[in-house]
A and B are shown apart, each in its own frame.
Chain A
């Protein structure tokens, strides 16, 4: 009783007419819809928080995520650096792995070279490569745009394949007093055998991919 009296008093003071029941219901629906929308938006943001944060880190380099170079800034006139290449193969691999010839590059200049490997054994073999840049103090200035390291590379018996590497030397090296004496950089790769289990898994994945493609081909 008391409540209805207070409500009536307030309405009377404002001089507003109470809304019709249908209008009030419509307003209530609008409020509920708006709140549901906000809740949905918040839920979506929470759900995508991790990938969005990762994207932010990749773009800005925040949080220690390594920035993989996408493009060279372009050649800067002046200092030229010799880049040499070196190759190694693990003990149990019948692969011949050859480096490209040394190249001379200007700072900021994008350069493409190709390593080559051949499987001289009688069995298919899955390899994967590690890499190193020396002297170590200039590794931070050596940027690879395209690289074959860490990925699985299959060579059938007798097969020879080229592995391209695109790189540039960051012009910021010129501002580093510790790197002033560096005139040559060596990029080395070592191929390792991933083993029989990884090879089987790789071939099974390949067969599954081919198997999925067959019905589509037959349907056409």
Chain B
């Protein structure tokens, strides 16, 4: 006869309520693991979608994700000429926040060269960008329907396609435009600023003693064109020929002044160690605290349940019940409580994880790990109750 099941059957509602409460707690622990995994996936989403071997950025920076990097777009031609490089493209990245329907509207804008690296990896609705200007592909999470226009800088961009689950390291949905459009949005000054800059430049040139007024006036638009150039990128990414030596290519580019080449692995390290390490530690600490709380709660519940049964245990001992039966009563209840609570937590998080504002990745290794931890906690927690039960004297069954 299984005494644990008999006891649970008798105290059904109390047991179920306890399991539900613990299940909610374990659900939170699972979500913490999922959020951490989601942070990692989000942080590396653009990096992975680009699938580049090298990321060339401004020297002495850790761009383009972790720090600002600005390099001339045309460095891509020089990179393409490096032996072993198959393809190189300039990319621009920027965060954009505006209002849409009266609510803050934030996204991460990627500018890429049509036919080059770094564009949307998958189009789930509509089509990819075909025109050089004023078309945009947005992530489905932005909830902007196909055909709608978005106003960026001074221009309207028509949504022509949707991607899915593309987010920046900050968790913002990603949108794609052509590099030229992105450069214009990011680097081009507005009309007033252009007029002011030209006037300032004209004034400065006219004050130069070795230029006549006519020369100064002819030079002004030329110089303004150079100064106001938007042919700037945040990074140039390169893909190597199969079999090419990555470290050799990296070493060669690193000898150039003003540029710093990172491998994809370096970027993963920068993103995970630099950008999400603290978040990871925070979530890890929360997980540990919640597991400790779960352990304490299970211990207390099992201990209280054992206290409630001291006279029963004394009676069982007096009528000759073996210790293993009494240990089984406590241990099985503890394990059953942990298993049911785990199932409740798993079901709960399984049904809700895609409703979270940020990605929650439920990874089997995390779930199995937590399952093992829960079992260990249950066994450890039951030891408190078992110790108490083993100390009960059969004599306690006697008397009124």
| Binding partners A and B | no
